[in-house]
Structure 1
Amino acid sequence: METEIFGRLLGDMEEARRRYYDGYESLKPEDIADAVEYAVGSPRHVNIGHVEILPTFQVPGGLNFERRTD
């Protein structure tokens, strides 16, 4: 999700947007809400012990991303 963290670290929100968000498809709050809705709406016998939600083009294990090329 796009947050202010990189802008605060760089001291420039526009530069952070260009460096870290432009060209990437970020998660949206609705994406997280859908996952939470699924988890809390699951049957009582279903235990969801861990959820990791990443954008499709983010490589697990760090801040390695691939830009969209469509």
Structure 2
Amino acid sequence: MRDTAPLAFTVSDMTCGHCARTITGAVLSAYPAARVEIDLDAKRVTVVNAGDRAAVASLIEAEGYFPVDVA
């Protein structure tokens, strides 16, 4: 199931461009039509047009990061 509402996560252990590319790649591998926005300074990941919140969080976690929902 795809959700067009933005999903936002704080990923405090995302510290560099490599982290951002890894997270982006993980999300896009499962949801090629998704839009992933990364704000490294705020340590925020926003995903639009992807699966549900738990599925996207699991993709990020599988890469070794710890996403926290931003409500």
TM-score normalised per structure 2: 0.27
Q: Which has the higher contact order (CA 8 A, sep 6+)?
A: 2
More strand by share: 2
More helix by share: 1
TM-score normalised per structure 1: 0.27
Bigger radius of gyration: 1
